[in-house]
Amino acid sequence: MRFIRLFTKGVLLAINTGVVLLFLLACLAPWISPERWWPISFITLLFPYLLLLVVLFFCCWVVFKIRYSLLSLAAILVGWKSISAFIAFNWPDAEKQFTAPDNSITVISYNVGLFGLYREKDSKYNRQAMFALIKKQSPDIACFQDFYTSEKKHDFNNREDISREMRLPYRYFSSDFNRDGMQHWGSIIFSRYPIVQSEKVKLSRGPLSESMIYADVVRGRDTIRIINMHLESYRFNEKDYRSIEKIRNQEDTGLVAAKSIIQKMKEAFQRRGRQADIVADFIRKSPYPVVVCGDFNDTPASYTYFKIRDGLQDAFLKKGTGIGRTFTGLAPTLRIDYILPDKAFTVNSFRKINSDLSDHYPVIANLTLQADSTSADH
C-alpha cells in the first residue's frame, strides 16, 4: 500500500514538473520572436490550459503535501507577467449605466467579417444587424478589419453608408485588395473628428498581404494617432477545417492533415513576429498619443501581443473581466482583438459585445486624454 502511495505521488510530481516546465516555456514568449524559434508560439496556444493545470496541482498539493505546492507557486510567481496579461482581475460590471465624460472619446474595434458577404444566411440582413449594433454604440472612432465596400450598382457601398448613417464623415481605407477598381477589401478607420494625416504601411510582401493604417485625428487642441491593423491569419480554408475535424476525431488521415495545418501555422507565427516588430517600431516613433486597434490573430501570451503592447495600456485589462474571448471559433480562450491606448489616456470603460453576426466580437473602450498630454512619450 505504501509502495502504491509513493509511486502515485512520484508520477504526479513528475507530471507536475513537466507541466511547470512547459508553462514557464510559454512565459518566455514575450522575449523570443517566432522568427528565432517558432515552436514557442504553439506552446503559447496552450497557455490557458497549462495555467489551469499549474493551479490545480497547487491546490492538490496544498491539501495533500504542502511542500510540493511550492513548485507550482514558484511557477505562478515567475509567470505573473503572462498571467496578468491573460486575465483581467476586475469585478464584473453588471451592464451598469455608464455616462461618458464630456471630454472622452468612444473607440470601437471590430473584425466585421466582410459584413457577412459570403455567409449562407441572408447577407443583407446580417449587414443591417451589424450596422444597428455599431450605431447603437455611438462611436467617435471606429476601426474595422475585414472590411468590404463596393461602388458597383446594386452592391453595398459600406464606406459611404457608415459615414452617412453613423455621422463619421472622416475616414481612411487601406483598400488592400480590389476587383476591377470597384470592389474593395481591407481595414478602415472612421472618425467623427477631422483627419489631418493618414497613411498605410505594408506589413509584408505578397498578393495577400495587408497593411497597417493610421489616421491623425484632431479633437479640440489635441491630436491623436489612431492605428488599425489586421495581422497575418492562418489562412485556413474549408479543407483545413475538415482536416482539423479529422485530427479531433483521431482519424488515421489526421496525421497527414496535421502537416499542412502545422506548416500554415508556423508561417503565420513567423510573419506575425515580423509584423509586430514593424508595428512596435512605428508606434515608438509616433509624435502623438496613440490608440492601437486591431485583430492581431494572436493571444495575450504571444510575442506579437507583448511586442506591440510595450509601453501601452490594454483597455480590457484595465476595465474588463476574466479572459475576454473575442473570437468565436476553434477555442473558448482566444482573445485576439485589442484596443491598446497610450498611457496618456485614462480608460473609463471597456465592453465586449457577444454577437454572432461575425466570427469576432466587437470591443469598445471609452478613453479620456489627460490634460497635460500633448505628445506621446515612447
Do residues 81 and 114 both lie within one domain? no
Structure-block grid coordinates of residue 191:
472618425
User: Do 163 and 112 belong together in one domain?
Assistant: yes
Question: Which of residues 86, 121, 144 is at a domain's end?
Answer: 86
Query: What single-letter DSSP state applies at residue 138?
Result: -
Helix (H, G, I), strand (E, B) or coil at 74: helix
Domain check: are 50 and 129 in the same one? no
Three-state DSSP class for residue 252: coil
What CATH number has the domain bearing residue 323?
Answer: 3.60.10.10
Residue 68 in domain:
yes
Residue 161 falls within a domain, yes or no?
yes
- Examine the domain organization and report whether 252 and 117 are in the same domain: yes
Domain boundary among 86, 121, 149: 86
Q: How many domains does the chain have?
A: 2
Same domain for 31 and 172, yes or no, is no
Sign of the alpha-carbon dihedral angle for 265, 87, 331, 232: negative
* 374 found inside a domain: no
Question: For residue 276, what are the domain limits?
Answer: 104-369
Instruction: Tell whether 99 is covered by a domain.
Output: no
Question: Would 15 be classed as within a structural domain?
Answer: yes
Domain membership of residue 159 (yes or no) is yes
Q: Which residues pair with 218 in a beta bridge?
A: 223
Write out the three cell numbers for 88.
Answer: 483581467
Q: What is the DSSP letter of 253?
A: T
134 and 174, same domain (yes or no): yes
* Element spanning 63, H or E: helix 47-64
**What pLDDT, in 10s, does the model give residues 49-76?**
999 999 999 999 999 889 999 999 999 9
Same-domain pairing of 227 and 286? yes
Do 22 and 108 lie in one domain? The reply is no
User: Do 168 and 295 belong together in one domain?
Assistant: yes
For the four alpha carbons of 191, 195, 201 and 206, in that order, the dihedral sign comes to positive
| Long-range contacts of residues 322-329, Cβ cutoff 8 Å, at least 24 apart | 322/87, 322/88, 322/92, 323/48, 323/86, 323/87, 323/88, 324/88, 324/352, 325/361, 326/352, 326/360, 326/361, 326/363, 327/359, 327/360, 327/361, 328/356, 328/359, 328/360, 328/361, 329/359
Cell 485576439, residue?
336
Among residues 58, 86, 114, the one where a domain terminates is 86
Does residue 288 lie in a domain region?
A: yes
Q: Are residues 126 and 264 both part of a single domain?
A: yes
In a domain, 378, yes or no: no
Question: Tens-digit pLDDT profile for the chain (378 aa)?
Answer: 676 777 778 889 999 999 999 999 999 999 999 999 999 999 999 999 999 999 999 999 999 889 999 999 999 999 999 999 999 999 876 456 678 888 999 999 999 999 887 765 677 888 999 999 999 999 999 999 999 999 888 888 999 999 999 999 999 999 888 888 789 999 999 999 999 999 999 998 776 678 999 999 999 999 999 999 999 988 776 666 666 666 566 655 556 667 778 888 999 999 999 999 999 999 999 999 999 999 999 999 999 999 999 999 999 999 999 999 999 877 778 999 999 999 999 999 999 999 989 989 999 999 999 876 654 444
Q: Are residues 253 and 343 in the same domain?
A: yes
Q: Are residues 80 and 132 in the same domain?
A: no
